[in-house]
Amino acid sequence: MLSRYFDLLEFIDQNDETLIDFIPSPSENKNVKILREALLCIESVSLALQTGNVKMWEVRAQFDAILVKKPDLRRYMGATGSIVANPDFEAACV
């Protein structure tokens, strides 16, 4: 959806009085672009998790690959992160 927004942005009249309150400013657009890049980084992992035939070790490997690029997510997605109910169990399974 964010990619579609940026595709259409060049065709939106920035001076249209009916739209001006709804169009993000250039600095807001910059922040949205940064967010879009971050989301694209984890999109493939999110799609893989939705397939249903993914193994636990594959999930851990994909999360670890994301953590190489985004180490600040470690407290959420790391082996001892907040989404891990039982780190010892996960370590034994993986």
Q: What is the pLDDT of residues 57-80, one digit of tens each?
A: 888 888 888 889 888 888 887 877
Q: What is the pLDDT of residue 94?
A: 65
pLDDT in tens, 9-41: 889 888 889 988 998 999 999 999 988 888 887
Q: Which has more confidence, 7 or 86?
A: 7
Q: What is the pLDDT of residue 30?
A: 94
CA dist., res. 48 & res. 54, Å (int): 7
Q: What is the pLDDT of residue 52?
A: 79
Q: Which has more confidence, 91 or 14?
A: 14
Q: What is the pLDDT of residue 70?
A: 85
Domain residue spans of the chain? 1-43, 55-94
Q: Which has more confidence, 91 or 54?
A: 54
Instruction: Report which DSSP code applies to 39.
Output: H
User: Phi first, then psi: what are they for 20, rounded to 5°?
Assistant: -55, -30
Residue that is written with structure tokens 């579609």 in the block: 4
CA dist., res. 24 & res. 87, Å (int): 42
